[in-house]
Homo-oligomer: A and B are copies of this chain.
């Protein structure tokens, strides 16, 4: 399982991008890739790519580079994509439905088995095969189905209460689309998608496009 003492978030955030490019290469039936070529694709330096990968093990071969299929598979394992995750989504509005339907997530192993909402008009509806449950059933559903990931697509009001229910019932990961920072106990991880912040970053960069900036 290789060494694993404290990989920085900067590294972690690059891993999915490596994985994505490796997926593309694999699809094109390209067999091998060097850190130099990966550098051209991703925009990271070859040195950084080698450093990053070597946090997890030596996947390359001198004089050759990396085997695409092997590295792809290794990165998949590192990212935890070699298994499935029982997943639910809370807040079945426009955004929630869009997320629940995104087939890319399902194929990557994230099985969304239920949606939850508090709007009586929505409860009982089927969104492409996934039923919308009453939010009152949230707690029992999580327990009965060993849910590991909760996706929060509610407004910020009430989102902390949802997070509390999730955390108190064994959910280990929260993908949060509510525009707020949730508090959770140790051992539960949160990944935020703060669309407002992303959009505001865009407008900042437009104002300052002289800046180097990503």
Contact = CB atoms under 8 A, between A and B. Distances in A.
27 contacts: A12-B204, A12-B205, A13-B197, A15-B200, A15-B201, A16-B196, A16-B200, A16-B201, A20-B197, A43-B181, A79-B204, A80-B200, A80-B207, A81-B203, A85-B203, A94-B98, A94-B101, A95-B102, A104-B179, A105-B196, A108-B199, A173-B206, A175-B199, A189-B202, A189-B209, A193-B193, A193-B195
A211 B6 contact: yes
Top 7 closest pairs, chain A to chain B, by CB: A16-B197, A94-B98, A191-B202, A80-B203, A16-B200, A80-B207, A98-B98
Interface of A: 4, 6-7, 9, 12-13, 15-17, 19-20, 43, 78-81, 85, 93-95, 97-99, 101-102, 104-105, 108, 110, 148-149, 172-173, 175, 179, 181, 187-189, 191, 193-209, 211-214
